[in-house]
Structure 1
C-alpha cells in the first residue's frame, strides 16, 4: 500500500523505466518473512547488447 504521493510516483517511474529490461512488480510480498518490498525487478534472461544510456 502506498502511503505517500512521492512513493507512488517513484514506484510508477521505476516500473516504466525498467519494463523494457525485465519484469517489474510494485508492492510485492516477500516469502519467508512477513515483509513487503516496494519494487521487485527481475532482469530479462537475455540482455540485449544495444542498451542506450
Structure 2
C-alpha cells in the first residue's frame, strides 16, 4: 500500500534518486494530502512537469 512509498524514499534519496508524483485525481490527492505526502514528495499536474524537475 501507501507504506511502500514511505519505506523506500529515504533509501532512494540516499542513492541520489527521488520520487515525483503526477496525474493524480482530486480524490487521490486529497487522501495523499491527509496523510501528509505533499510535505515529503513533489506532486505535479502532469508527467512532463514532474520529469522536468529531475
Same fold, TM exceeding 0.5? Answer: no
TM-score (normalised: structure 1): 0.34
Of structures 1 and 2, the one scoring higher in RCO (CA 8 A, sep 6+) is 2
TM-score (normalised: structure 2): 0.34
The structure whose Rg is larger is: 1
Greater share of helix: 2
